[in-house]
Chains A and B, each alone.
Chain A
């Protein structure tokens, strides 16, 4: 086949009209992986045999009627996949082979998706650049001197390098949206509790969500509808009772607190252009205030590290994995910080204080959503940065998360949307946040934007 289709619809149209079959699709993605993976370090494990087996099964049936029939999918290596090694990007789990699969992996397989492999990521999803992987950084397919963003580095790498049509990642503080933004992709951090996390290696249980990366908003909507819903295995998941209302008039807010020192001029320009585009198509854009914005990163780094120190307590080398000496530097730093903020004498001043400020942050958003349907925000304060640029200063790297941690602390959905390119030819996107369970409204707004700018899905290599 000549060109690999870049959307689910094109893929399924091609299969149904017999332009190609699923085995040929797998051939094409594997050819791309074989050509570039050594260079870009995107896949940690390629499941060639399993992919062909599934493709042959789908071709044999020949109806391609399920929602993801023939959709080649890759998983961040923190999703448990039965009988396929799962490392979490860490050496501690270098030889770990799960006995069962995550709910989301099962759902994708049942919907006809074809797993093609497991993706590189910052170890235990700790990072905003992919550079904390114990298996080395993933290089950005748009320019290999730059990071892909993280922690779902391989997920963004695989889709933008045309090695997989879609990918799953995770989003605890921006780990799906920031790499999506750095690689010209659509990325969704869903409402907390809308998609089961059963079988996803836990980082921070009050913030963790399953993220998805696709080329288009239409594809994201298909993926979300497949993945969402209660499974009886993750007690935090709740089915949304909300009706999907098709609105014709929208109002979007931009927080004045988002225009801070350290916001890159090109990113700022992108946000202002997005605003203009929305105004042009009749969406009202108003200024709002989110007064606790400057406390987002401190609250996040207390809550997250506290929960990390607890979740990573299970790695003791008894039931699986190596002992704790194999933790990488960033995992050790976060476990140490978390133990500190939870320790006797400091709990009230740090952990409980952060949980109270978190309430105030949530109140800010509840107030804002009384007047607006969604909020526009930068994803990252800067365009993609060079490999090695931020690695010596952990605090500087943490500040990368200033705009993304919000949606996790508040529990609301946020959609990263590709927009433009920087003067160095690197992608810049923006995000739209909405009230809990407003995913379909965010999709609607994103589609309007992409229609207006005549967005076409693109791959880097």
Chain B
């Protein structure tokens, strides 16, 4: 029986860049445990000497000519049209914190 712990859940949430509330953790823990348990039945399939399939069409390294496609370019104004811009730039979240004396 797979039993995910609160610690597992917080680790997965961190990897997922999600902040979960306590009630979400309480709700998701048994649900995810049950689903992981269910998908674990794959372990009974013998896959020795079987290669994984990542792409069903067999196409590899599809490339195009290294040429600027102007019809697929956005103007600065268009690119910024869905966000709060600052002087023509995207605004990102702060990643550095104020220095403290500690």
* A binding-site residues for B, Cβ under 8 Å: 95-97, 99-100, 192-193, 206, 232-233, 235-236, 238, 292, 295, 297-299, 301-302, 309, 313, 316, 318-321, 324-325, 327, 329, 332-333, 335-341, 343, 349-350, 352-360, 362, 394-395, 398, 410-411, 436
- A80 CB → nearest B CB, Å: 12
Residues of chain B within 8 A of A295, CB atoms compared: 41-42, 45
Residues of chain B within 8 A of A337, CB atoms compared: 32, 35-36
Known: A336-B18, A360-B47, A398-B35. A298 touches B53 (CB 8 A): no
Known: A193-B59, A360-B45, A410-B56. A320 touches B82 (CB 8 A): yes
Q: Does B57 contact A (CB under 8 A)?
A: yes
A356 touches B50 (CB 8 A): yes
A353 touches B54 (CB 8 A): no
- Main SS of chain A's interface residues? helix
Expressed in whole angstroms, the Cα–Cα distance for A344 and B78 within the complex equals: 39
A206 touches B56 (CB 8 A): yes
Q: Does B24 contact A (CB under 8 A)?
A: yes
- B64 CB → nearest A CB, Å: 7
Q: What 1/0 mask marks residues of chain B from 68 to 90 whose CB sits below 8 Å from any chain A CB?
A: 00001010001101110000001
- B9 CB → nearest A CB, Å: 8
Range of interface residues on B (Cβ < 8 Å): 35 or more
A319 touches B82 (CB 8 A): yes
Expressed in whole angstroms, the Cα–Cα distance for A262 and B12 within the complex equals: 33
Residues of chain B within 8 A of A302, CB atoms compared: 39, 42
Q: Does B98 contact A (CB under 8 A)?
A: no
A343 touches B12 (CB 8 A): yes
A411 touches B78 (CB 8 A): no
Expressed in whole angstroms, the Cα–Cα distance for A233 and B71 within the complex equals: 12
Expressed in whole angstroms, the Cα–Cα distance for A97 and B9 within the complex equals: 34
Most buried by A among B11, B45, B92: B45
B45 touches A357 (CB 8 A): yes
Expressed in whole angstroms, the Cα–Cα distance for A204 and B58 within the complex equals: 17
Choose among B12, B39, B52, B91 the residue that contacts A359 (Cβ–Cβ < 8 A): B52
